[in-house]
Structures are given as C-alpha cells and as structure tokens.
Structure 1
Amino acid sequence: MGLAERRRVLGYSQEKLAQLLGVDRTTVGRWECGKVAPQPPQRRGLATALEISLQELDLLLTPPRAVVEETAGHQSSDPLSAGDDEMIRREFLRILTVSGAFTALSAEDAEGLAEGMSPGVPADFARMNGHLWQVYRLARSKSAVYPVVRDQLTTLNDALASNRGSPRPLLSAAADLFQLAGEVAFDGNRYAAAAASYSLAASVSKDAGAYDLWACALVRHAYVDMSEQRYRHAAQMLGAAERLAGRGDSCLSTRYWVASVQAEAYAGLGDLEACERAMDRAEAVRDLTSDSVDCGWLRFDGARLAEERGSRYVRLGRLDLAEKALKDALGQTALASGQSYRRRGAVLTDLAVVGVRRRDIDQVVEHAREAIELARSSGSGYTARRLQALCDEFGTLSRDHRVAELEAEIAALCAP
C-alpha cells in the first residue's frame, strides 16, 4: 500500500488531507508520487492524520522511489544508498560483538591481549579519523565521504577482531567513526540511519570509558529529535549529555557544546530565559586554548555562536535580536578560506525567515536565492531541508511571482 492508497482508505481527498495538515493540495500530490518527501515537522502530522506510526509512514513513502529506479533499469548514483545503510549497520553490530568481549574481560586479561600488538595501530586510526573529519567539513557534497568512512570502519573491525591494538583506544576510534557516519547520514536526511549511528557510538563510547565521546554522541542524537520537533525528548537527551560531559576532560569544549545545543532545545520549547542562560554558558568556551576545541569529532570553539544565537531568536520570534546576530554571523561565514557552505546557507535561510515574518519580499528573495545556489553547489540535504521549511512559512507571500519562483526552485532542489 502506498501513501495515496492509505489516504483513500481513510476517505480523504488530497484537498482534505492538505487542509488537515495546513499545506497546499499540490504538496500532497508531490508526496504521493515521490517527487518530494515530507519535512520532519510535517511527518508527525501526516502520520497522525493517516493513523499510522512514523515507521509505517517511512514504508509508505519508500516504494515510489524504489519503483522508479527499478523501472529505469539503473542503480541510484547516491553514494549513500539503502544498501550502504544496511552494510554499515552490519559493521556496527560486528564492532559491538567484539567490544562486548573486551568489556567482559578482566583488566589483567585485556592487558594480556594487548601484549605484542603494534603500538602504532590505535594512533593510526585516530589520525585517519581526524583526517576524515577534516575532509567531511570541507567537502561540498558530504555523501562523497561515505565510501571512505565505510572502508575505514571495515579496517577497524579487522584490527579489533585480530587483536592488533589496545582495546580501549580502538573502541574510541570506532565511536568516533560511528559519529562521522551519522553526520553523513543526517546531512542526507536519513534520520533512521543517523539515529542508529549515534546510538551505537554512545554504546561503544561507554565500553571505552570515553565520557566526552559519549556526550557528543548524545548531542548529535538530540539533533535528530529536534529535526522532528521533539524538543522535550532532545532536552532530556541533552541533560544526560551534560552530566557525562561533567565527568569528561575539562580541557575539552564538550560541556560548552552541550550548553549551546541545549539553548536550541529551549528555544524550541519557547523558553527564552533558559535559552539565554544556556547560550551564556556556551560563551565560556572562549576561555579555552585553541588546542582544546578541535579533535575531529569535537569542534566547538565559539565561532558559530552568533549564528546559533540568531537562529534561536528566530525560533523564539525575537526578530530584532535575531537579525542583528545573523548579520554579524554572515560576515563570519564568507566562503573564502574554505568556510562551510552549510553554515552560510543556514544563516541566509534564517535571514529569509526574518523577511517572511516581516512581510519583506525583497529580503526574502535576496537571501533565499543565495541559499538555493549554495544548496545546489554543495548538494547539502541539510540546507535543502532548511529551505523547504522556509517554504512552509510563505503563506500568502506565494502570490508574489518572485516568491512563487523561489518555491518552485526549492521544490525542484528537494525532489529525489
């Protein structure tokens, strides 16, 4: 059964379902033919209207694309395909199996296993992982990094299985790599794969006794919850991350990153005071030395605080505060020196949202058009997702031909 069949079973026309969800009828039509997928905030309402779970909704949304690809007689060119998702899940389970054996051993037994192992192996993995994070940050298309991550994961598994390294450092390297795999999946809008990656990163971090890695895995998992507007769940996850970070290395910036993301969850809950307190705690990261804020899987140095503060003010409806912070941030995200397309795209989209809420069409067009070009250049699912959420704000502004053109371009950008 597909999405259209389920709608008809419940007796809804496309118009009626669109009315229930507060979207245009053509949006429902695009969902049903697989041209575009519902955004995270829309998925929960759609599942509720169709009286199914989010997992069942995923199954209803999958067939159209699969049928198109089969009929066309070619394999998807997306480096991060469903087959790759399954392969990396198998690798996760293999590492969990091996790590379970290590954690069951006594300390003396574990030391015995380490005798005769190459001391360079764990350090080699740490260096390679650090290099992969750097490549990921600079890559225009994040999914292009995935095949290398998969190969590194396979090599790491072989090292664990053959006892070619000290167990705990290798497990830390595995937790690090799982988080990178999750980031690639999240950028590609593969929320289930991202959540699985972060959950397993947390599990292996626990086995390794790596509190900072463990806390960062929970922070990244909280982003999955926030992408679906489950801010209360995210706040609970971040509370656990805060406690873990308190047991971690005080020279690292983990606790300050946790505070910054807590501010986002509080903004989603509409709590301005809690949001600002959390942002103030995050500002203390500036007291750390530069060597303490970048270790691959953790890169929070306060450089993004202006854009993050601006984004949270947008969510809270404080447009005056938001615009000032976002314009400050825009000057910090110039594309020179390899700075992030994704970061600049997010700031531009937030400025376009400010324009929508002020009914300033010139501001909307100026900032949204540049964000669209960045999304095209980078292939970032994250930027495309932010732009599609912008479309949901247009309302009657869509009657203006310039906004209607933007909406069409964004729909084409988000099409599978």
Structure 2
Amino acid sequence: MFSIFDLSLQLNAFPIKKAKSDLEQIIAFSAEEKKQFIENQKQNIVEFHLENNPFYHKLVGSKNYKNWEELPILNKTNLQIPLESRLSKGFSTKNCYINKTSGSSGEPFIFAKDKYTHALTWASNIYRFGWFGIDFNRSFQARFYGIPLDFFGYYKERIKDFLAHRYRFPVFDLSDAVLEKILKKFQTKKFEYLNGYTSSFVLFAKFLRKRKLILKDICPTLKVCMVTSEMLFEDDKNLLETQFGIPIINEYGASELDLIAFQNTQGDWQINSETLFVEILDENNNPVPNGTEGKIVITSLFNKAHPFIRYDIGDIGILDEKSTLDKPILKKLIGRTNDFALLPSGRKSPGLTFYYVTKSIIEDDGNVKEFVIKQLEIDQFEIEYVSETELDLAQIQKIEQAIALYLEPNLHFNFIRKNSLKRTSRGKLKQFTSLL
C-alpha cells in the first residue's frame, strides 16, 4: 500500500521525513550521548523562549536563570489566556498546529505546536507502535474514540481516519445493540490493532464475556490493543486480554505534548525521553527519589511555537527505581479515571463524552477556568464551574444543544458558578462523577 499517511503529513507541511530521520539519530545515541542531548535541548528550549516568547519571559521574570530548578512550574491556569499572547515571535495560528486539550482534567485550553514538533510527535508514535509490528501506513486500525457530530467536524475526522487507515467506532453510545453492530464489523473487516479509550474497551470486553466470545477468534488478523486516555486497572487489563485474545498495551499521552509513556516489549512503561523531559516533583517542586510518588512535570524539548517548560500536567506518578535519565520508566500513574453516565434511554456513555460537550464552552478568551460535572439522578446533572464572568443564557443554550446532540434530549443540567472547585486529596479534579 502507498504510504498515504506519511504523504498526508508532508502535504500539510509537517516534515515527517526529517522528523523520522532526526528521531532515529536520537534513538541511536549511547547513554552518555543521550544525557548530553537532553541537557543541551533543555538549555536551548529555555533560552529560545526567554528570548522569543514574551509570555514565558514574563513568567520567568528575567532573561537569565542560574539553574533548571529555579525555573517556574507552568500550570494549566497560566495557559488560560488567549493563544496569540502565548505564541513565540514568528509563529501564528496560520503556521502552527493548533488544537484544544480534552479538558479531562477540568482545566481546558488551546495550544500550539510548531509544525516540526508536531511531525516529531507522529514520528514518536510511529516508532513506538512499530515495537508491536504496527505500521501506520499499512496496518488497519479499529478506533474507539469520540467524533464531532457537526457536519464539517464529522467529515473532517472521517477523512483523517481514511488517510490514517483506520475505522472509527464512536463511543457516545455503547449500549448492547450498538456493541452488537460493532462486533459484526470485526467479522467482516481485517483489523490489525485496536486503539482507543480504556473504558470503552472494558465495556466491549464485558459484552463479549456475556456472549462467551473471544475477539481474535472473530477477527484473526488482530495483533494488539493500545489503550489510552484513562487509567488501566489490572483486573480490567486481565479482562481485555482474556476477551480480546491479544496483548494489551498501555499508553499515556497528552495532546499538547506527545506520547509520554508507552509500554515496551518487556512490559515496562517506558517514558519518551527523545522529545520530552519528565520530572517527578514534590509539593514544594523539589525532585523526589525514584520509587516515590509526586506530580508529573514535563518539558517539551522541541516546541518553539509555545512553551511547555516544567509544565505540571495535573497527574501524579512514580518513576521506577531502575529509571535512568536516558531510559526513564514510569512505575505507576495515579489518576485519569472516568465513570460512565447512565442515561434514561438505557444508553451508557463514557465520561470522556463530556469532552465533546464541553468543547462548546472552551472559548479562547479563557473565561471558564475549571469545571466538573456530576450526575445526580438518571436525568439530572450538575455543572460546577469557575469563571471570570457568569455564563450567559446564550452560552447555556449552546451547551444544552451540545448535550442533546452528544448524549440525548431531555437531560436537565444545573449550572453553578463557584470561586473554587473541590479537589481530591492529591489535588486532582475529576471532571465527571456519577452519584447513581
């Protein structure tokens, strides 16, 4: 098959050939060369943004810094201002890759990557998926993800799916009737791998277990399943391995950064140290010893369009005791769980469905700072939010229209503006909670 995926990136001015070549060189470094590379990239990216990014210069307070540990911790609240005021000189929304974070942390914002950095993200994905015999240009993917339901958004994603050689199963409705239709697709299509939200796969696996079916028996071409975006618990992993009949690979990433960690062929959750620098810090922003939990703070080593330097992603994790600078291993990730919404029609929708609902209130003016959603009754929900100004009637109607589109009509939402939101003992916001 023609390399249509690579070509589509090149045609959109993402230099994938150069990114792949550069990544290969980084991977080939010796341990000592890799350490020097990381230190050089850290220094280069900080100096670049101090010189060319007024937003970052103001955050640091000076164009000079003595050591890495002096640099401020960047958090999502810092980034909830218009994107144009965060871009480096020479970069604009016209010459960058622009996207929104999912809002799964309850703190959404719009971000940018320069086109080379975005190409490096894809090169990183291609490299890691290749560990398991997956080729983005040839391997056929069964994709369990959300999809925009407006006309242009929907068909844009479908075109991207075609170019990426994947078939998408939208996860807004995972009732048994829908899962039955999904199952029939596996009988007729030669999928090589699955990729998508953990909770959606768990629902599908439970559906298969009820019917005493193994997915690989139905679709023998399947090789592997990559789960992402939500916590993978051990009992869920065992369920997936049993009902799918293939290895389950754990992925941890962030759209504004890259793949952060990806389970390697030895079963270790290997951190991406080619394009990122990952630190685990305590509440006072001091590094903790390997084996100790702390907040995950990440630096994008290449992104010149937008600074992600010592960026607190909002997760808690532990580095393995055997981690080294050139080959860090994530021992444990704490957080990123999502409940399901059970709706009056009988539909079950993953908590991540609310990403597509809340897109309608993620505005670039940064008004809505944080939000959490609670299901109180089968048809009663509550949205608590922190904002500079109260949501007006037009905004609420827009949200209600999105809710009817992505979930179902006749759901009742109460909007409550707050000064602050209740967090877990670890300082995390859980975007969706069901009290049923």
- TM-score, reference length from structure 2: 0.29
Which has the larger strand fraction? 2
- TM-score, reference length from structure 1: 0.30
Which has the larger helix fraction? 1
